[in-house]
Chain A
Amino acid sequence: MTRLILALLLRLSPARWRESIAGDFEEDRHRGPGAAWHAARVITRLWIEELSIRRARPRRRFSMHATSVHIRQALRALLMRPAYSLIIITTLAVGIGANAAVFGLANWLMFRPVPAVHEPHRLVTVRLAHPAGGIMTMSHPEMQAMLDHTPALSAMAGAMDAELHAATDTGAAARVEGEIVSANYFDVLGLQPARGAFFSAAHPGVVVSHDYWMTALGAAANIPGATMFVNGHRVPVLAVAPKGFTGATRSATVSLWVPSTLRTVVFPGYRTDPLANMNSGIYISMVGRLANGASIEQARHGLAAAQTAVANVHPRAQRYKVARYAIDEGLSAPAYERERLGRAFSLLLGMGALLLLLTCANVGNVMLAGGTTRRAEVATRQALGASRSQIVAGVLTESALLSLAGGAVALGLAALVNAFMRGTIVLPFLPELGAIAVDARVFAFAFAVSAASAIAAGVLPALTATRIDLIGTLKGSGRSVTSGGLRARRALTIAQVAVSLTLLVGGFLLARSMRERQAINPGFDLAPLMTFSVEPGYHTDDLARRRSFYADVMTRVTAVPGVRSAALGWSRPFGLMADDGMVGAVNGAAASEVPAETFTVGPRYLETMGMPLVAGREFEQSDRPQANQPASTVMLSASLARRLFGSADAAIGRLVQQGFEGSPPLQVIGVAGDARLRRAFEPAPDAIYKPFHTAPSWATVHVKFDGPAEPIAGALREAVRQADPAMPVFDMMTAREAIARQMSEDILIGRLTLAFALIATLLAAVGLYGVLAQAVAERRVEMGIRAALGAGPGRVLRLITGDALRMTATGAIAGVGLSLWLTRYLESRLYGIERFDVLTFAAAILVIVLTSLAAAVIPASRASRVDPVIALRR
């Protein structure tokens, strides 16, 4: 080992010294341990000396002429070998393209400038951050207080995201992403309308996005002047936002902006004027514009003062004891979202870097092979007096040209990859992926990656290119058994195998984890279940009207052919919405209260969900508070029933209490099987089910159906449209899609890892093939002699495949070690599988071994067919 390191170090030492120190190192090695360390120090010292000597010499001027000569020579060399160039460019394009695609996604979500915004560097984002990681709402008067205390901010605007019901006179109603904003919102951002004029006090109305205007409004010419329905209320459309602007945060896809002055109109539930009320939290984020010459630090100071002032006059000052104004530069997403994206992308970019390294190793490999065939050319040049540095510069120029070409192809490829990812992945936090464009930032990234890969790929070939036996090569011998280049290529190939195996292990782990997740049993039937939500609360706060709407929808839905059963509920499966609270047996000890999730569900809920009824009965229409009934009815989950009463049967008829002491008792009429209704990948929680008897603002319809989902979905939409044409259906999905949403981030990461791993394995195979082919070519004579001496084709075949397997085995061992270390970064994403899963490792190794055997087939058969007569005559 020491010997190998010493040999390597020797290569790194200044040429002038190499010969004289070689023997000394060897002597040192015999003397005792630490030789490698000493050698490394010696070489460092020698290089310092060497560089200082060189600097003392008159410096050679950078010559434009020499560079252009290099470029011309490299171009000519590449054009003369189109196949060689194409292979390298394609390989580089894959590596750079995969990185550019991932970066493009990261850029789109995290870094790109928000379009059309004036002087974005002077903008700041202010939020009320809770130390636990969430953010809280702020009121309109609060914004005024911030401005009063913060001279560093010349203007502020508030915004709150809201899903809105949008409809036109002609088109169907749809639920769209909207924002309730202060009237000065567009002015603070410095946007210019594509059409019309933004909000004004005299003419209240809404602003639509350019996309919405083009699609839903049919690019209507009469803006201002046109009208549309927002949450069932007719409002004028004042303006069209500039093209490309879809909200102040990068991941937003807002179609509709409603001024906060119209808030009471589009949300009928509000009676008081929210703009005047210090308590009315109507903004979730604020955009501030820094005054001329003001710094974000000054703004931060001002906000701290504002916070104290607001807390003093704020009747609910309590929340300011923990929450603090947080100010960020530019238009930024909340901290928790940035962190989540950062974690996801650092993993992906890390794998991208591994892949790029592999690509470079591969290209270096091919170039080394090219270097072998080019030896004559290099030798001639050297013989004609080209210095070593000139040869190196030539090789590096070549790799730079190749990398740039690869980068250019990669950008095209990145666009393709993005197109491939469009729609295939449902990511709740992602915009429509089709919108992702290659901008200057991605371009710069691809360029930087290309440059890095040019150096990484070119350095080994450049170094070996100059280490040539001039006389021998010029004489045309080339009979050498193994060249130095081949040794370097072997090392590269082994490294490739190692990294490929690591990526394969990661990809397989994630894929198997995904299958485990898809195979979960949540405690209800996933297969025939579909849910969708409606929100009549947007249109009316008349409870009787809402109730009759829900009843009408349920009647029509139940009548849809293929629907076996339907039930109302408040939240959808895996929708994450539920109330948490304490539940205890009435007259039980206070200590016996346990936390339980609360679900509000209608009749036939258990039947529709396919959840077992363990004891008692399900809710019926009659389960609502009535004057003659002693208590409202509830169902418990089996685990909660056992916890409170010992068994499911014992719970029936008993009374429980939820919430504060003295709250009305609830009578247990049924016990349901335990189910994971919210979080698919965590154990089922204790749960209490309350009857759906009020008329909440919104509700989810659960449908158990037969046959394919598509036609049912259409029929369900139609059923709701018949009940109320202005009522959009939203969040329509099967239960399986709902689970997929919960693991969307893991799906994306899993798919990309697997894709990277397959590319990497392919590259490793190509590298292996290249090495074996070169070895066979260089050992032709040897093979010929072997054949002449009676070695059969089988023997030669074994020789070559054995060589391949030895390299693979070495790489695989290193790869297993690398995997054991690196999979720790996947651990938090794995479900139902250990990161040291033996089967996964075995599968990855098998893939690598089979791939390398496949790569060995052609060179091995070629070697076995060497004709001794022809080989020996050369």
Chain B
Amino acid sequence: MSSFSEKGLLGELEQLVMLAVMQRQGEAHAPAIRDTIDDRTGIELARGTVYVTLDRLERKGYLESRFGDPTPERGGKAKRLFRITASGTRALAEAERALARMRAAAAPARSR
């Protein structure tokens, strides 16, 4: 629970973005992350939102980034590629666990 006390539980949006980063191992630059989320969920995030979320996650230490090699179709500009960190993985798992517990506790009430 250490992550929670310091940085709060991961938000829905943050979880979406981190899961997308995990899926696109090593290839996760912002447009790709946005596309992934769109493909899987139909949720079309604003471009700015993706950037801001990535930035927050990086500042929290859950993501890290590096610049990839420049590609010609990008006007010779490099991609900023995101990768999940160890603490990121932990935070994600923690959030999932917390939600799962809550869901389990609420299940009987819902079925009634």
Contact = CB atoms under 8 A, between A and B. Distances in A.
Interface of A: 17, 19-24, 26-28, 30, 38, 41-46, 49
B67 A19 contact: yes
A540 to B, nearest CB: 86
Given A19-B67, A24-B31, A30-B73, A42 B48 contact: yes
B1 to A, nearest CB: 25
A42 B51 contact: yes
Nearest to A22: B77
Q: Is chain A's interface secondary structure helix, strand, loop, or mixed overall?
A: helix
B74 A21 contact: no
B52 A45 contact: yes
Contact of B51 (A17, A26, A28, A30): A17
B80 A41 contact: no
A46 B48 contact: yes
Given A38-B47, A41-B46, A45-B46, A26 B77 contact: yes
Interface string B37-66: 000000000111101100100000000010
Nearest to A41: B48
Contacts of A38: 47
Contacts of A20: 30, 65, 67, 80
B24 interface: no
B52 to A, nearest CB: 5
Nearest to A17: B51
A3 to B, nearest CB: 9
11 contacts: A17-B51, A19-B77, A20-B65, A24-B29, A30-B73, A41-B47, A42-B47, A42-B51, A45-B49, A45-B51, A49-B52
Contacts of B80: 19-20, 23
Given A23-B75, A43-B48, A45-B46, 6 more contacts: A23-B71, A30-B73, A42-B47, A42-B48, A46-B48, A49-B52
B77 A23 contact: yes
Contacts of A46: 48, 51-52
Contacts of B78: 19, 23
A42 B47 CA distance: 6
A23 B31 CA distance: 10
Interface in B1-60: 29-31, 46-49, 51-52, 55
Instruction: Identify the 8 closest CB pairs spanning chains A and B, nearest first.
Output: A45-B48, A23-B77, A20-B80, A26-B75, A23-B74, A42-B48, A49-B52, A42-B47
Contacts of A49: 52, 55
A27 B35 CA distance: 13
B51 A23 contact: no
A21 B79 CA distance: 8
Contacts of A27: 31, 73-74
B74 A26 contact: yes
A701 B75 CA distance: 83
A542 B36 CA distance: 103
Contacts of B47: 24, 28, 38, 41-42, 45
A443 B74 CA distance: 54
Contacts of A28: 31, 47
Nearest to A52: B52
A533 B7 CA distance: 92
A21 B75 CA distance: 12
B51 A21 contact: yes
A86 B77 CA distance: 44
Contacts of B49: 45
Nearest to A49: B52
B48 A23 contact: no
Interface string B60-97: 00000101001101110111100000000000000000
Contacts of B75: 22-23, 26
A43 B67 CA distance: 20
A471 B73 CA distance: 31
A46 B48 CA distance: 6
Contacts of A17: 51, 55
Contact of A24 (B30, B65, B67): B30
A377 B46 CA distance: 43
Contacts of A44: 48
A38 B50 CA distance: 12
A45 B67 CA distance: 22
Contacts of B51: 17, 21, 42, 45-46
A17 B71 CA distance: 19
A45 B50 CA distance: 10
Nearest to A39: B47
A49 B47 CA distance: 13
A50 to B, nearest CB: 9
A241 B74 CA distance: 80
A122 to B, nearest CB: 55
A794 B27 CA distance: 56
A45 B45 CA distance: 13
Contacts of B30: 20-21, 24
A56 to B, nearest CB: 11
A23 B79 contact: yes
Contacts of B73: 26-27, 30
Contacts of B52: 45-46, 49
A49 B52 CA distance: 7
B103 to A, nearest CB: 31
A105 B4 CA distance: 68
Nearest to B71: A23
A691 B75 CA distance: 89
Nearest to B79: A23
Contacts of B77: 19, 22-23, 26
A43 B80 CA distance: 17
A458 to B, nearest CB: 30
A227 B63 CA distance: 97
A20 B75 CA distance: 13
Contacts of A23: 29, 70-71, 74-75, 77-80
Contacts of B48: 41-46
Contacts of A30: 73
Contacts of B65: 20
B54 to A, nearest CB: 9
A350 B49 CA distance: 41
A26 B30 CA distance: 13
A832 B51 CA distance: 60
Most buried by B among A17, A24, A38, A46: A24
Contacts of B46: 41-42, 45
Nearest to B81: A20
B47 to A, nearest CB: 5
B83 to A, nearest CB: 14
A26 B79 CA distance: 11
A669 B42 CA distance: 94
Nearest to A23: B77
A646 to B, nearest CB: 80
Nearest to A27: B74
Q: Which of A20, A21, A44, A45: most chain B Cβ within 10 A? A: A20
A26 B73 CA distance: 8
A624 to B, nearest CB: 90
A590 B32 CA distance: 87
